[in-house]
Amino acid sequence: MNKAMNIQTIREDFPILSRTVYDKPLVYFDNGATTQKPRLVVEALVDQYYSVNANVHRGVHYLSQQATELHEGARETVREFIHARSTNEIVFTRGTTESINLVVSSFGDAFMEAGDEVIISVMEHHSNIVPWQLLAARKGITIKVVPMNDQGELLLDEYEALFSERTKIVSLTQVSNVLGTVNPAKEMIAVAHAHGVPFLLDAAQSVPHMAVDVQDLDVDFLAFSAHKMYGPTGVGVLYGKEEWLDRLPPYQAGGEMIQHVSFEKTTFNELPFKFEAGTPDYVGTTGLAKAIDYMNALGLDQIAAHEHDLLVYATERLKGIPDLRILGEAAEKGAVISFLVGHIHPFDMGTLLDRLGIAVRTGHHCAQPLMQRLGVEGTVRASFGLYNTKEEIDLLVNAIERVRQMF
């Protein structure tokens, strides 16, 4: 365990971790899908509804101004967290999926036409595949796919070879939600820029686990979700370089995103409000800011080190189980392990582990093209968070052994 992080104390911040399922202590290894919430996040949501609830931006009254201060304060917290230059570059969305759809739709409308190309990779989540397919159906663009090796690492030579005169954007995940692979984002962004092409990075599985600095990466767009980083559901972020966001047309239309409306002509609001039509989840953004405060207090490097310890320990222990196969053995890997045991169907494994109190995810993990590449229907996935322990990994290993013996 990391010196600076007392995991037992941390676990007390998450009330749900002390509950039982089927009379067994809960072991929660489904953090890739969503993380649990610390008390201070939940309390911030309740406090705001009880004492500072009013719609933001539009009110002259006291409560509305207080709510607006919290909401805009949260934007500043996010800016600092990912080291953006300005809060104009922080757009609040419903989550990673909406952030990606925003870019696909606005960038696609403004800068892509039939025959233009987007580069994605074989390990993308459906949310970074299907929006491009809809754009392809609408506008006749072409999707090119970066392949990977059997360890689950993207092939960088092949990536570079995919660029052509028609390449307009690259859209890739920083960390695979299935394989755990940490892609060399900075290097891949530099390659795109050398071809004069902007880069959208899906940070859904990276921001919760490591420090992400948009200026250091020099990334053009970055998407992530609050609920995967100890914050509430329904809130996410799109970071965009101001020079890009300025040039993109609005995504959705309605209140908040306008400056002036008449039946003859409507003008749009300044950044970032141009992309925030309608009432935002201003309570959720307060919760996100609290989650960031919580992670910052523990230290992003400490969180990463603790989770790396868990990954190394779990990998070693799982490899000791006969017939267990790990899918994804990249040299750079986040705290996610996908595996299969003999011919046991992942669904059966997941169901039986659940009966023993262990929550893992099974299936295709919204990455069916990756499953096809791996030649499997699905996997069992254990994904770790800052509150997990080696003792819980021991419970997982023992439980897998029990299931294996049942088959």
Ligand X SMILES: Cc1ncc(COP(=O)(O)O)c(C=O)c1O
What is the binding site for ligand X (CB under 6 A)? 95-97, 125, 127, 173, 177, 202, 204-205, 225
In the complex, the smallest distance separating the C-beta of residue 22 from ligand X, rounded to whole angstroms, is: 26
Decide whether 225 or 286 has the Cβ nearer to ligand X.
225
Selection from 350, 305, 304, 311 nearest residue 180 by Cα: 311
In the complex, the smallest distance separating the C-beta of residue 51 from ligand X, rounded to whole angstroms, is: 29
Report residue 250: phi and psi, to 5°. -60, 155
Helices (H), 57-200: 62-82, 96-111, 130-139, 156-161, 185-194
Strands 358-359 and 379-383: unpaired
Q: Is 84 a catalytic residue?
A: no
Decide whether 2 or 97 has the Cβ nearer to ligand X.
97
In the complex, the smallest distance separating the C-beta of residue 198 from ligand X, rounded to whole angstroms, is: 19
Q: How far is Cα of residue 13 from the mean position of the Cα atoms in its chain?
A: 22
Decide whether 52 or 170 has the Cβ nearer to ligand X.
170
Decide whether 55 or 252 has the Cβ nearer to ligand X.
252
Selection from 93, 167, 95 nearest residue 366 by Cα: 95
In the complex, the smallest distance separating the C-beta of residue 274 from ligand X, rounded to whole angstroms, is: 21
Q: Which of 26, 366, 371, 376 is catalytic?
A: 366
In the complex, the smallest distance separating the C-beta of residue 2 from ligand X, rounded to whole angstroms, is: 25
b/e 308-344 (16+ beta carbons within 10 angstroms → b)? bebbebbbebbeeeeebebbbebeebbbbbbbbbeeb
Selection from 30, 6, 3, 2 nearest residue 16 by Cα: 30
In the complex, the smallest distance separating the C-beta of residue 180 from ligand X, rounded to whole angstroms, is: 11
Residue indicated by tokens 């919580």: 294
Decide whether 177 or 362 has the Cβ nearer to ligand X.
177
Q: Is residue 67 a contact partner of residue 55, using CB atoms and an 8 Å limit?
A: yes
- Strand ordering across the sheet containing 336-341: 324-327, 336-341, 379-383, 361-363
CA–CA separation, 24 vs 138, rounded Å? 51
Decide whether 29 or 163 has the Cβ nearer to ligand X.
29
Residue indicated by tokens 């880069």: 199
Burial of 259 (0-12, 13-18, 19+ CB in 10 A): exposed
Q: Which residues are identified as catalytic?
A: 366
